Amino acid sequence: MKILVVGSGGREHALAWKLKKSPRAPKIFCAPGNAGLAKIATCVSIPAEDIAGLLNFARSSRIDLTVVGPEAPLTQGIVDAFMAAGLDIFGPLASGAAIEGSKVLAKEIMAKYNIPTASYAVFNEPVKAQKYILSSSAPWVVKADGLAAGKGVIVCHTEEQALQAVQTILVDKAFGEAGEQIVIEEYLTGEEASILAFTDGEEVIPMLAAQDHKPAYDNDTGPNTGGMGAYAPAPVCTPEIFQEVKEKILLPTVQALAGEGRPYRGVLYAGLMITARGPMVLEYNVRFGDPEAQPLLMLLKTDLLDIIEAVLTKRLAQINIRWFDGAAITVVLASGGYPGAYQKGKIITGLEQAPEGIEVFHAGTAFKNSHLVTAGGRVLGVTAAAENIALAISKVYAGIKPIHFEGMHYRRDIGRRAILPKT
């Protein structure tokens, strides 16, 4: 069996790593991949957004199944194109993927189907947005409608910041077309968590609750990133909250999408704020999270290939998804300067010494003159699993010790929230 994994990050490395463990011993291809993926898969240099190129490759190489990592090809219709060509592919059609591609659409669906989320207003005219801000009170969250690589969300604690956010998105068009509309949202307080679920369009099976760490520096300070680390399970999602998320958010979302003529299958990711009023949706993603995929796939006991096939054949209800006990954690090692400008090509050392039980998933890495070098902002995702989160934390940080590249930075507090007493 031949599987093509589309993408080049830590998430895709973890997907390929887990798929390769299938008893069916599939041969894995990856487009475009990275230096870590090249060790376990055949990497082909087709960009993740070159849908025609990927389709050609899948056809000519007789790929049996394609698994898509990132959102961009999904929102651009990679699943539609592969299905039209009669090829098996895991992920939602563009019509469903639009709930990540358009925050306005996501909010409208949540409002229509009573899915708990922050109250909001939509604007495309700067003057109206400014008036709204001046007539309401801080804080606000201003969001560009479209995909903006995680940078289109601006939390504003003052009127000045909110007016500036409107200026940046609607007037200066800092995010281009993604900023033709904005959502101005009520600011929610609580602890964040992500619950991802497998769905075949009817059945919804949530994975373990995970927690991402988006700010660049310790104690949630500094600019937002794609995610500096994650762990699972997240104790903030008690069994009661978990059940509530399934019944009031995940299932209704899949049903709402079907009701809107957007049948959904694949992974549905709910980014949540666990508020005093209960869990509320901050955002939807239409794919595995990165880095959440790394600890989640490390803990997944069931063969991922079996789950994917059950989704594609609408037999998800018949499958029992099992998880290893304990906890897993990923700490991202980033390039100096990330999430701002950073240099590439720094030599990475110390990976050969990674202790037993640690997986180092590659994100921005490449080979240059037979050296492993940095090639992106997020470089490596050091991942460990253990009987509990405290042990997993010690294990992962011990695993990072030997690893080095010039300018490397990482958070020292990933997972700490899971072990600290509540404040």
Tell me how far apart the alpha carbons of residues 359 and 327 are, in angstroms, rounded to a whole number: 14
Q: Which of residues 193-232 bind ligand AMP (CB under 6 A)?
A: 214
In this structure, is the dihedral angle defined by the CA atoms of residues 20, 333, 71 and 100, taken in order, positive or negative? positive
CB 154 within 8 A of CB 168: yes
Residue 299 beta carbon to ligand GLY: minimum distance, rounded to whole angstroms:
17
Rg (CA), the chain: 21
Q: Which span sits near ligand AMP by CB under 6 A: 58-66, 182-190, 319-327, 367-375?
A: 182-190
Q: Which span sits near ligand AMP by CB under 6 A: 33-41, 179-187, 333-341, 409-417?
A: 179-187
Binding mask 133-172 for ligand AMP (x = CB under 6 A): --------x-----------x-x-----------------
CA 167 centroid distance within chain: 28
- CA distances, 224 to each of 58, 141, 419 (Å): 36, 14, 23
Tell me how far apart the alpha carbons of residues 378 and 333 are, in angstroms, rounded to a whole number: 6
Residue 311 interacts with which of ligand AMP, ligand GLY, none, CB < 5 to 8 Å by class: none
Residue 212 beta carbon to ligand GLY: minimum distance, rounded to whole angstroms:
4
291 binding ligand AMP? (CB under 6 A): no
CB of 181 or CB of 374, closer to ligand AMP = 181
Q: Which of residues 271-290 bind ligand AMP (CB under 6 A)?
A: 271, 282-283
CB of 71 or CB of 283, closer to ligand AMP = 283
Residue 334 beta carbon to ligand AMP: minimum distance, rounded to whole angstroms:
18
- Of 45, 157, 103, 106, the closest CA to residue 37 belongs to 45
Pairing label, strands 221-224, 2-7 = unpaired
Pairing label, strands 89-90, 65-68 = parallel
Tell me how far apart the alpha carbons of residues 276 and 146 are, in angstroms, rounded to a whole number: 29
Among 114, 127, 187, 406, binds ligand AMP (CB under 6 A): 187
CB of 33 or CB of 227, closer to ligand GLY = 227
CB 142 within 8 A of CB 166: yes
Residue 227 interacts with which of ligand GLY, ligand AMP, none, CB < 5 to 8 Å by class: ligand GLY
- Of 207, 215, 228, the closest CA to residue 287 belongs to 207
Residue 100 interacts with which of ligand AMP, ligand GLY, none, CB < 5 to 8 Å by class: none
CB of 65 or CB of 72, closer to ligand AMP = 72
Residue 377 beta carbon to ligand AMP: minimum distance, rounded to whole angstroms:
17
List residues binding ligand GLY (CB under 6 A): 212, 227, 285, 289-290, 292
Tell me how far apart the alpha carbons of residues 231 and 327 are, in angstroms, rounded to a whole number: 7
Contact residues toward ligand AMP (CB under 6 A) are 118, 141, 153, 155, 185-188, 192, 214, 271, 282-283
